Structure 1
Amino acid sequence: MKKDNRLKKNEEFQKVFQQGTSVANRQFVVYSLFKKDQDTLRIGLSVSKKIGNAVARNKVKRYIREGMREFIPQMKPDRDLIIIARQPVVGMGVDEVRRSLHHVLQRGKLLPPKSRQHQSKDDAK
């Protein structure tokens, strides 16, 4: 993700938590806050120590960033998002993370309705 697309400051996180809406599935919780004068989508990641050691947490963050790379161009730029990883995400591969992110973003109506999930080779057969 580009630096322009990142949420970093604690105040920004707190504002999204307090004023935003949330949607969740087993692997992720996504908080979303509409910002009318914003021209770039910004995303913050939260992976707690409950997930595992630093290596495991960083791996989960890499997988989330990779999964979101496909969805960012399809999303409206007037939002701040926070993605919180839950315990079941440990052990998932990149494609599984992408599918789970797609599911939770669709539930929250953060993706356009015609946005298709990334299909793996097994799904196409």
Structure 2
Amino acid sequence: MLAIKKALRIKKTTDFDKIFLARNSAANKKFVIYQVPSETNHFRVAVSVSKKLGNAVVRNRVKRLVRHAVMAISDDLSTTDFVIVCRKGVEELSFEEVQKNLTHALKVSKIYKQQ
């Protein structure tokens, strides 16, 4: 099981504010990615899922799928702090579809650097 280490998580409100205020975003049909260059030598990530997508069980499943998809491609991510915002429809996707859509969104935002 792939888990995101504590050093790779964004938790502080000030970090979220800095990322959202930078207004640097990219999107596809399922995800919006807000980003800012990282002050560390690795990426940091947070996942945001709206209550409009479903109850707590559904939202936690979506977050878990997205976190696993991020960790599966973590070696190819640039040193960036980013927040992944899930759009309506993500809750119906399988893991493979989540991974494919997330990889596409990260490529559009130039965070994913395929080696």
TM-score, length of structure 1 as denominator length: 0.85
1:20-78 per-residue CA deviation (whole Å, 9 max, x = no partner) reads: 4100011100001013x41121001110101100000000000001111122111122x
Aligned ranges for residues 1-125 of structure 1 at < 5 Å?
A: 1-35=4-38, 37-77=39-79, 79-112=80-113, 115=114
The answer for unaligned runs of 5 or more in structure 1 is 117-125
State the shift of 1:3 in Å.
0.7
| Cα pair 1:16 1:82 within 8 Å, conserved | yes
Partner AA of 1:80 in structure 2? D
| Cα pair 1:27 1:88 within 8 Å, conserved | yes
Partner AA of 1:25 in structure 2? N
TM-score, length of structure 2 as denominator length: 0.92
Give the match's secondary structure for 2:10: coil
Separation in structure 1 between the aligned mates of residue 103 and residue 63 of structure 2, nearest angstrom: 16
Separation in structure 2 between the aligned mates of residue 99 and residue 76 of structure 1, nearest angstrom: 18
| Cα pair 1:20 1:34 within 8 Å, conserved | no
State the 4+ residue runs in structure 1 displaced beyond 6 angstroms: none
Separation in structure 2 between the aligned mates of residue 57 and residue 93 of structure 1, nearest angstrom: 14
The answer for unaligned runs of 5 or more in structure 2 is none
Q: Identity over aligned residues, as a percent?
A: 36
State the shift of 1:14 in Å.
0.9
| Count of residue correspondences | 112
Distance 1:20 1:40, change over 3 A: farther
Give the match's secondary structure for 1:64: helix
